[in-house]
Each structure stands twice: as structure tokens, then as C-alpha cells.
Amino acid sequence: GQSLEQPSEVTAVEGAIVQINCTYQTSGFYGLSWYQQHDGGAPTFLSYNALDGLEETGRFSSFLSRSDSYGYLLLQELQMKDSASYFCVFYGQNFVFGPGTRLSVLP
């Protein structure tokens, strides 16, 4: 089955920029999504990329390179409230969630 790889933890300070990478296997690929999940909460949708390039939504941007089977989520002007887990999600016949990256934003 599909498996995705992303770093388990990332730490950054308020106001900084952080990039969370994700690699996936290419079989049956339609697109790559990103979700945010705060502790004890439900995942919430952040972005979706089906084509190569950068999609920007406010402070968050997501990038996809289909030829490299690679994507990333870029978070700018980090705020304390951005401390959460971030999941890349392979969109094929169904969604397959990556293991998640826990982002800690320090003051």
C-alpha cells in the first residue's frame, strides 16, 4: 500500500519560517493534501495540490513536484497557535494519511 514519509518533529520560534517535507510513492497519485491537527482536536483541511507548483493561502503555502514525488508545507510568520501536528495526505482512490509532523513553536 501507499506510504508517506515526513519528519516526526520540527521546532521553530515565533515569527520564523518552517518547511515540512513529505515524500510519497507515485502509484495511483491524484494529489497531495495537508491537514492540521491540534492536540485533542480533529484534523482540519489546509491545502490541496494536484499540479506542480506552489499554492498560497495566507501564511501557509504548499508545494508539489510530481516528478520528484515530493511536496512540502511552508508556514510563515509562525505563531504560537501554529503548534500542532501536520499531516500530508496522499489522494488516490482514497486518502492515505502520513505519520504526521509535530510542530512546536517556541516564544
Contacts with another protein in 43-82 (CB under 8 A)?
43-45, 48, 50
For residues 13 and 104, which CB has a smaller minimum distance to another protein in the complex?
104
Instruction: Provide the pairing of β-strand 70-75 with 31-37.
Output: unpaired
Determine the Cα–Cα distance for residues 58 and 24; give it in Å rounded to an integer.
Answer: 25
- At closest approach, how far in Å is the CB of 99 from another protein? 5
For residues 28 and 41, which CB has a smaller minimum distance to another protein in the complex?
41
Give the residue among 14, 85, 81 at the shortest CA–CA distance from 73.
85
Determine the Cα–Cα distance for residues 51 and 55; give it in Å rounded to an integer.
Answer: 10
The residues of the shown chain that bind another protein, judged by CB under 8 A, are 1, 31, 33, 35, 41-45, 48, 50, 87, 89, 91, 94-100
